[in-house]
Amino acid sequence: MTATDPTEKKSRGRVLVVDDSAIVLAVCRERLEEAGYEVNVRESALGTSAMVIRDRPDAVLMDVDLPGLSGDQIASLIRKNDAGEGTPIIILHSGLTAQVLGGMVEECGAAGYIQKTDDDALFISQFNQIFLRAQGK
């Protein structure tokens, strides 16, 4: 298909997924692409801010438990440096309580959080809800 092909699907947005697990990256990529998003992935916290500045994704989905800097620390750095210029950052986690995550989201300026799950529909529903809310839709 070419860029002018009328049958080509329009992207819902560009998402950067940051997680140190290759399996989580592959699952998130597959789920988001099936939902109509363009996806880039990154296995390391290092360089994430630069990638956000360079690529200007429409959203960043970031694991909390990254080696080196945690996802909430990276989100805070992006917000401090205005690197994201309003790019919603969605925290991805597997075991923290809603109370801890809510505080983390507020403190680092993230748009919300999603729990890692095997339920594809729930994952996409939660992502869409946070993404659209962050865009004011």
Instruction: Answer whether residue 38 shows pLDDT above 70.
Output: yes
Residue 7 lies in a domain: no
- The enclosing domain of 30 has a CATH number of 3.40.50.2300
Contact 22, 35 (CB under 8 A): no
User: What secondary structure letter does DSSP report for 70?
Assistant: -
Say what the pLDDT of residue 125 is: 96
Residue 31 lies in a domain: yes
Say what the pLDDT of residue 10 is: 76
C-alpha 15/C-alpha 58 separation (Å) is 6
Lowest mean pLDDT among 5-14, 26-35, 126-135: 5-14
Instruction: Answer whether residue 1 shows pLDDT above 50.
Output: no
Across 33-56, average pLDDT: 90
Say what the pLDDT of residue 95 is: 79
